[in-house]
Chain A
Amino acid sequence: MKLVYLDNAATTAIDAEVEKFMQKCQLGLYGNASSIHKKGREAKEELEKARKVIAKSIGAKEKEIIFTSGGTEANNFAVKGVAFANKGKGRRIITTKIEHECVLNSCRWLEEQGWKVTYLGVDGKGFVSGKELEKAIRKDTVLVSIIHGNNEIGVIQDLKELHEICKRHDVLFHTDACQSYTKAELKAEWADLITLNAHKIHGPKGVGALYIKERVKISPWQHGGGHERGMRSGTENLAGIAGFAKAVELAVDDKEGKKRMAKLRDCLISELLKIPRTTLNGPRGERRLCNNANVSFAGVEGEGIVAALDAKGVCASTGSACASRSLEPSHVLIALENNPERAHGSVRFTLSRYSTKEEVKYAAKCAGEVVEKLRKISPLESERER
């Protein structure tokens, strides 16, 4: 049975070229980038090369890029680091109801420490309103953190507009761009802090970066020997970082990649919507991640669909990979509309640069069969037939 992997928002397969390059670094560049000798200098050189690639990809300065162990660490660092460094000014943070768990749980932890957090809602397509953001800002607000491309429903927020509002009120603006990086336009000037990671773009797992605009007040979160300009201690994961940069280069080089994915995405969405009583979650077009399709099937539960699709060789997910560990329906879907059936029945298919039309058609065909089969044994559906 062939395998159709459409869970690229959870993670991607590492690119063979990235893997080869990493192996070379792992074996050859074993020095510690802080050492003054030859091996250290070699490692340092590769490290700074990688930093340059990442910085250039968003139009930042090299010294504004801090490498981390991934998106989770970068988000924790941004939210908690800014909160602690600016507590003299105030202890209020604004975020949204559709953030990734690592931002939400960082905020919840700060609440336990005495911070006040506002969780902005979204409209029916998942957009945050600039007006509501502006209304929520108080004198003691120090940080606004809003996800760029949403991992579940693919909605892309207007960073430029949101950042302008923050600037007017002298509030720092952070965005989690793990999902949108190299898939949607992203500029350093649109935020004060930006979270990036490697494993969503065919790079290695466990590597990420935080862009921190010059002069932004943030306290380091991981203390030690003073690596990464004192912002993030710990010997750099050189092979991982070099692999990250390689993955970025490959993604940037594939100029048609975004367009190709968007076309496939639209094909997938229209095939899925042919299945009766299916709703699209999130917006259409330019304001949706080019690789995301998320739909809800009435009368059936997402986990069953994903398990049955798996048996047919199709890898998809129920909104968020983390959600499958709890019993709660997706917080993002509930934020869109307080409709448990829609939230429980949501399935996410996410493409990569390597996805094909054939795969997309096969996945949609399987989804149709699976949904029909599960609806036959759903008590919700038999009522509707009557």
Chain B
Amino acid sequence: MYVDKVLKRFQKPKFAGELKGADAIGEVGNVRCGDIMRIYIKVKAGKIADIRFKTYGCVAAIVSSDYLCEMVKGKTLEEAEKITAQDVVKKIGEIPLVKVHCSVLAQDALKKAIGEYRKKKQI
């Protein structure tokens, strides 16, 4: 079902875990659907200085969370927001069609975290 590259990344994600002292957290999804994603961000000078995720879900959900983190780290909030689920899917390469919606969730969680950050800083 999954290609090797995806399975390898699943085994060794680079951004999995909690981020202590995060500036904002965004979470989406629910147990019913079988996917919950939480993104932690630290922001410095308008850029995502650090990022981590915690995901309850399938292989695709975990891998797309991880790739999204990699893609937005070091980017400005505006740049990060512009990254779409399709961009993440492209980066992952091959992903089963029924699993594409998982990468949408990761993006939603990030947007929520950014929104939360802006609300806190009132910007």
What residues of chain A have their CB less than 8 Å away from a CB belonging to chain B?
Answer: 299-301, 303-304, 307-308, 310-311, 324-327, 329, 340-341, 344, 376-382
Contact = CB atoms under 8 A, between A and B. Distances in A.
A379 B56 contact: yes
Given A304-B58, A327-B34, 12 more contacts: A300-B56, A301-B57, A307-B2, A326-B98, A329-B34, A341-B31, A344-B34, A377-B54, A377-B55, A378-B54, A379-B36, A379-B37
Contacts of B7: 307, 310-311
A340 B59 contact: no
Nearest to A318: B58
Contacts of B1: 324-325
B34 A377 contact: no
Contacts of B33: 327
Contacts of B38: 379
A255 to B, nearest CB: 39
- 6 closest A-B pairs by beta carbon, nearest first, are A303-B58, A379-B38, A377-B16, A379-B54, A344-B34, A378-B56
Contacts of A379: 27, 36-38, 54-56
A381 B92 CA distance: 27
Q: Which of B13, B27, B55 counts the most chain A CB atoms within 10 A? A: B55
A310 B13 CA distance: 17
Contacts of B98: 325-327
B34 A340 contact: yes
A299 B2 contact: no
Identify whether the interface residues of B are mostly helix, strand, loop, or mixed: mixed
A378 B55 contact: yes
22 contacts: A299-B56, A301-B56, A301-B61, A303-B58, A304-B10, A304-B57, A307-B7, A308-B10, A308-B11, A311-B11, A325-B98, A327-B33, A327-B34, A329-B34, A376-B16, A377-B53, A377-B62, A378-B54, A379-B38, A379-B54, A380-B31, A380-B36
A26 B61 CA distance: 46
Contacts of A380: 31, 36, 56
A302 to B, nearest CB: 8
Contacts of A304: 10, 57-59, 62
A346 to B, nearest CB: 11
B79 interface: no
B50 to A, nearest CB: 16
Contacts of A308: 10-11
Contacts of A326: 98
Contacts of B20: none
Contacts of B101: 327
B18 A382 contact: yes
A259 to B, nearest CB: 36
Interface in B58-88: 58-59, 61-62
B46 interface: no
Nearest to A326: B98
Interface string B1-38: 11000010011010011100000000100011111111
Contacts of A381: 56
B18 A340 contact: no
B17 A376 contact: yes
A377 B1 CA distance: 23
A340 B56 CA distance: 13
Given A324-B1, A326-B98, A341-B31, A303 B59 contact: yes
A329 B31 CA distance: 11
Nearest to A303: B58
A326 B13 CA distance: 24
Nearest to B7: A307
Nearest to B58: A303
A300 B32 CA distance: 13
Contacts of B11: 308, 311
Contact of B31 (A310, A325, A344, A377): A344
Q: Which of A310, A325, A379 has the most CB of B within 10 A?
A: A379
